[in-house]
Amino acid sequence: MQLEADSDALDHHRIYRMEVERDLLGDVIVIIAHGRRGSRLAARSIHVPDLSAAQEFVRSRLRRRATAPRRIGCSYRITALDTLDDPTPYLLDPAAQRRMEQE
């Protein structure tokens, strides 16, 4: 899943990418990469106990991105869902999703 926040007026061109994968041992990991578009993204891997914990972790990060208009002055929008087979369990509830898209 990839999110982008763009504002020419504020000079914000940010990318936030999350991927849920399994490592070689079968453990679930969430890979997060973020930074300014056009530069090298900072990346980190977070091990989670199971798939449901990964889904809740991704939703918590989406809730944080939804507060971007208040924090950085422009909102994030989802630009790619191709990293997930079925993105539905990872997304926010419909009301929160609408708020994120309106801001």
- End-to-end Cα, the chain, rounded Å: 19
- Cβ neighbour number for residue 64 with a 10 Å cutoff: 12
Given a cut of 90, whether residue 85 has pLDDT beyond it is no
Given a cut of 90, whether residue 62 has pLDDT beyond it is no
Nearest 10 degrees: Cα torsion 28, 41, 60, 71: 170
Mean pLDDT of the region 21-28: 86
Given a cut of 60, whether residue 70 has pLDDT beyond it is yes
Q: Scanning the structure block, which residue is given the tokens 């007026």?
A: 9
| Cβ atoms 23, 11 nearer than 8 A | no
Q: Kindly state the helix (H) or strand (E) to which residue 75 belongs, with its residue range.
A: none
- Residue 98 pLDDT: 60
| Cβ atoms 14, 41 nearer than 8 A | no
Given a cut of 60, whether residue 83 has pLDDT beyond it is no
Percentage above 70 pLDDT, the chain: 79
Given a cut of 90, whether residue 35 has pLDDT beyond it is yes
- pTM listed for this prediction: 0.73
- Residue 100 pLDDT: 56
| Cβ atoms 46, 60 nearer than 8 A | no
